[in-house]
Amino acid sequence: MDYRVSLAAWGLALMQALLYAALAPLLMGWVRKVKALLQNRRGPSLWQPYRDLHKLFGKEARMAHTASVLFRAAPYIVFVATWLAASAVPLIMTGLPTAAIADIIVIAGLLALARFFLALAGMDVGTAFGGMGASREMLVSAMAEPAMLMAVFTLTMTAHSTNLASVVDYQLAGNVLRPSYIFALGSLMLVAIAETGRIPVDNPATHLELTMIHEAMILEYSVRHLALMEWAAQLKLLLYGALLAGVFVPWGIAQDFAAATLLTGLAAILIKLAVLGAALAVSETVLAKMRLFRVPAFLNLALLLGLLGLLSHVILEVGI
């Protein structure tokens, strides 16, 4: 894997990172729009999340008097860690130097860092709902992370590298049906639903605090801090969508830096994210939210799928 470590490559990497930040609210708006259409409503416009962020950034900040430095700093840490993790995932092109800095394990670690500070911020102000949300989030992520790593190890063992760009390139190079990838896809989809807090694990649109997981931790935030937390959640959804689309359906991604291939890559990823967003909206409409004590069973299924992917890689694909 040769990384072009030139100035042009770094410029394109920066542009991809900015594109991530710009596209994240659009994906959220698209998911909400499709959900509304499925419920026979017109729904908010596609650009409403941008308007919400703009509104939140313009207001004066107020904070609880029990808030500490951690509470003020956490939104910035969460946003930057999530954005950094997202910029390492190939969106339009694969040969970028950011893909060389962070492999899949580092991406998982950055997301864990963001989650850690999110949970601390939830507990910082001392409200009951924040503590409850933080402990629930830790329960879900403690079970989701082994499942994600198991699925990731399956991909890694196939491509012989933990680097996401290498995994995507390997998948593009061969046209093979792999049973291990099918299991890894199932596992990663379940983990993505759990980590981004969508139905059936957590309802992102709920107003009942006793059913919240992610919303409960950011309940005390307002204005620009809330904007950063929401933007970070949208970035996380885009990260997982780009991961699923890039690794399992990589056709269309640009492998060199010509303008035509970059535009094809952009069009391809927009189509794939639109399809994934619509699928997410359909699954959220069809499924009901599980009670919290059934979420470990859900994540055990994800772990089992990851484990079966690993086993079928070793049994069915390697030892031929």
Partner 1 sequence: MSLEGLSVLSQLMLVLAAVALFTSFVLLEQARLVAAVHAFAWQGALVAMVTALVAASGHQVHLFFSAGLTLGLKALLIPWMLHRLVVRLELDRHRAPLTHPALVIMAAVGLVIFSYWLVLPMVQQEMLFTRNIVAVSLAVVLIGLLMMVVRQQAVAQVLGFMSMENGLFLAAVSATGGMPLVVELGVAFDVLVAMVLFGVFFFQIRESIDSLDVDRLNRLTERVEDEG
- If the CB atoms of residues 263 and 316 are measured against partner 1, the closer one turns out to be 316
Overall residue count recorded for the chain in this entry: 320
The candidate with the shortest Cα–Cα distance to 266, out of 235, 233, 243, 242, is 242
What value, to the nearest 5°, has the Cα angle with vertex 262 and ends 276 and 48? 45
Binding residues for partner 1 (CB under 8 A): 174, 176-180, 182-183, 300, 304-305, 307-308, 311-312, 314-317, 319-320
Calpha distance 26→15 (Å, rounded): 17
- If the CB atoms of residues 98 and 156 are measured against partner 1, the closer one turns out to be 156
Nearest-approach distance from CB 290 to partner 1, in angstroms: 15
Nearest-approach distance from CB 311 to partner 1, in angstroms: 6
- If the CB atoms of residues 108 and 301 are measured against partner 1, the closer one turns out to be 301
Phi and psi at 135, nearest 5°, equal -70, -35
Nearest-approach distance from CB 174 to partner 1, in angstroms: 5
Count Cβ atoms within 10 A of the Cβ of residue 261 and give its class: 0-12 exposed, 13-18 middle, 19 or more buried. Answer: middle
- If the CB atoms of residues 226 and 310 are measured against partner 1, the closer one turns out to be 310
How many other C-beta atoms can be found within 10 angstroms of the C-beta atom of residue 205?
A: 9
- If the CB atoms of residues 180 and 196 are measured against partner 1, the closer one turns out to be 180
Nearest-approach distance from CB 314 to partner 1, in angstroms: 7
Please give the structure tokens belonging to residue 317. 């694909």
Nearest-approach distance from CB 320 to partner 1, in angstroms: 5
